[in-house]
Structure 1
Amino acid sequence: MSTHAYGAHAADKPIEAIAIERRAPGPQDVQIDIAYCGICHSDLHTVRAEWQGTRYPCVPGHEIVGHVSAIGSDVGTFKVGDTVGVGCLVGSCQHCAACDEGLEQFCANGFVGTYNSPSADAPGHTLGGYSQQIVVDEKFVLKITHPEDQLAAVAPLLCAGITTYSPLRHWKTGPGKKVGVVGIGGLGHMGIKLAHAMGAHTVAFTTSESKRQAAHSLGADEVVISTDAAQMKQHAGTFDFILNTVAASHNLDVFTTLLKRDGTLCLVGVPASPHPSPSIYQLIFGRKAIAGSFIGGIAETQEMLDFCAEHGIVSDIEMVSAQQIDEAYERMLKSDVKYRFVIDNATMSA
């Protein structure tokens, strides 16, 4: 079936209205009428071919919230009218060790991304949430229990939310732990909210004094200007865990110095060029770790959504129309958004 969408036909072409085909729901499929879709930095990198392997036409979008409009004959988890979400994954092999553990994002045979992954459906690759409808295997559909008036702000939880929730959970963030969040942007603002809600003493790191009050408003107990050596020194050797959301290359030593023995610095931002090599001395003489984390599996994403609903957590957003996507991309490159753009998908038929 044909549906309205927005995508690009080449790296140097603008995002524009296009018609795409969606498969009819199979026995295990859920058809979703998309209400809102968040805009992620990954969308921009992919559509402009800044990462290798972009397939065109490219319809990005993996922060999807909508309502079930049809279900396959074997679907037992959802019914028509349910409020649901779809994140970064729409498939995996379902039989490797990672999938068996509910870690589909690490599927040994390659997960199927919500967009730009090989697919049996036309045009031969997956097309994402910058569209009015999508059909997804029920195993990769998530229940949303937030109130209807929060649904637009729920959309970024499907990427920014789980990207920060997963490492905070994995490294057992909670009461009695001192946790740092580096960067106050699309990912960082979610990290602050989640770490605070988990009960950790939460410290926000920023290079900008002007963001101090915003960080406190998000839930930070303390705010440290990371370029101020005196402020940083006061916190040396005191952190259990630091979540680094910055996607630009920078010196990691200033943060590993702040870790306690056995502390971990976890990276979730991917810089265009490598970070300078960190000091191994810092790691060896404190049994410290530099680690990474990548989104989350379906079970953990559902856990994150339920946690956020329970604690009243959503993303801070600015709504845009489909016709404003390219403008939003340019503003996103300048960090001119607090803190995530979300598309009103009803505007796609305008």
Structure 2
Amino acid sequence: MAVITTDNLTKRFPRVTALDHLSVEVQPGVVGLVGANGAGKSTLIKILLGLAPATEGSARVLGLDVATQGGAIREHVGYMPEHDCLPPDVSATEFVVHMARMSGLPATAARERTADILRHVGLYEERYRPIGTYSTGMKQRVKLAQALVHDPQLVLLDEPTNGLDPVGRDDMLELIRRVHREFGISVLVTSHLLGELERTCDHVVVIDGGKLLRSSSTADLTAATSLLAVEVTERQGDPSFDADAALLARLTEAGLTVTADGGHVLLVELTGDEVYDAIRDAVAELGVGLIRLEQRRHHISEVFSVDTVVEEPAHV
């Protein structure tokens, strides 16, 4: 059963349309919701939680109608907001226990679940410190912990890596994967950083200007292309030699279709195994070093260059 279904979901504000007849189905797993800032991601989450009404259309979360069953939805769904909303003068334990009680857990169960979930997100040793003394990464983990403490079936994570350095982002993304892998909780995670979703999500929903551009498995979106990416070093002892231009000319002479992709990378049309042999021979003859030779893959960012918007409901 789909965890999220929208049918012609539309949200209009006086001067902007945040969602424009969005129809999509999200199946269990780790699903990325990607779009530029202002694409409608946060508005969609608020509607799915029953916190904001839609202008037109309908949506269901875990089979529940967002328009009439918002309370029931929030009992079974965890939410990690984008912005900092944590009380600075209480400890992580106090805050997460409070959120667990607000979700309906008895006092003893709330304390037990809080200890377990703070251990899971890596805050167990720091659980009694005031949240105001935490780093940005630790605060993000507290927000994740409160979203998970009541053992939801689905969590909605709004820009969970905001403000984190590269190491912190990697740690958070691994935590998100573990949420589904270890607890079986489905995840909808929003981000404007496309590379994060390529590494983290099984499926991706791409929206732009409130419209659906693509809904597909990550594997399909990042499938291999028919191009080889080739990168070489300069010729040893001859720094004035333009290795890129020389290799491009040599491969073109060999009858291959070659284009420059910027950043000292050449893209060679892969028509057969003989292309590898031609590249190897050209590199050897020119006396340059081979840094990279790999089949290029599509990137999620390429979806935003597609002119045709998906009109039919997409299934993820």
Q: Structure 1 length normalisation: TM-score?
A: 0.26
Return the structure number with greater helix share: 2
Q: Structure 2 length normalisation: TM-score?
A: 0.28
Which one scores higher on RCO, CA 8 angstroms, separation ≥ 6?
2
